Amino acid sequence: MPKSLLVANGIGQFEMERELRRQICKTGQKMYTHGFVVACEGNLSVRLDRDRILVTPAGACKGHLGPEDLLVTDLNGVVLCGTRRPSTEMLMHLLYYRLRPEVRAVCHAHPPIATGFAAAGRALEEAVLPEVIVGLGKIPLAPYGTPGTWELCAGLESLAMEFDAILLENHGVVTCGQDLTTAYQRLETVERFATILLTAESLGGPRLLPHAEVQKLIATRPRYGVSSLEGTAELPLTCETLVDRADRNPSCFLAARPRGRPARRKLHGTSSQETIRLGLDHPRQFGS
């Protein structure tokens, strides 16, 4: 390659990284201002290229980050640029980037209403809002794992392959996207959905859409630039699903979940050797 093109590419990469550093700091400020995180909670990352990611440091308030605070690491979590420690949830970010090459950004936060559902062991999987069905399908619940460990990744792994927004039991929310704006907007969508669902339940319970309407909404995804996964694993619970559950176990279902609240379903992810290795190869890369 001519020297002039090499120089141009180098300048382009430098400008791109500088812009992404600015975007991470701006998004961190939004998360903090909107109450999605407090103190030093939450973390953000973006993919710089095939082998490197840009990530927030451990123990830093996301509302007060400067571009110089961010770190560049490889896909094993080894710091390539920066003097601080990577986020304690680095393993969760690396899991997404290893499993899904199309993912360019990951957000993790503790928005209060959505995290309340996660603490109650409840997924956001009801077919209630058309915008959520089109954009996310449903928001499942990953089983609890100790934060910052491969144990959390083991429960998240099978869901991360299919879903762009996931509740973490007794923990918070993680979202991903093809860019940081998309990942953050999905975080906002999860919290808004949780707020509306909680309000609907206080008014007697949400009215779930039927399967036919959900299928029509899924069919509109290409119009909005949303990719649609094959199969029906991503589809939310419809009114027919709840009727079927009630028919099979009416006394338990109706007593525990009146007006269409689904019974809690424990999700179990299976950890791959790759995920386990991530947690063992670099145990000192991630702070407490």
Q: Which residues are marked as active site?
A: 89
φ and ψ at 18, to 5 degrees? Answer: -65, -40
Determine the angle formed by the axes of helices 90-99 and 273-281, rounding to 10 degrees. Answer: 140
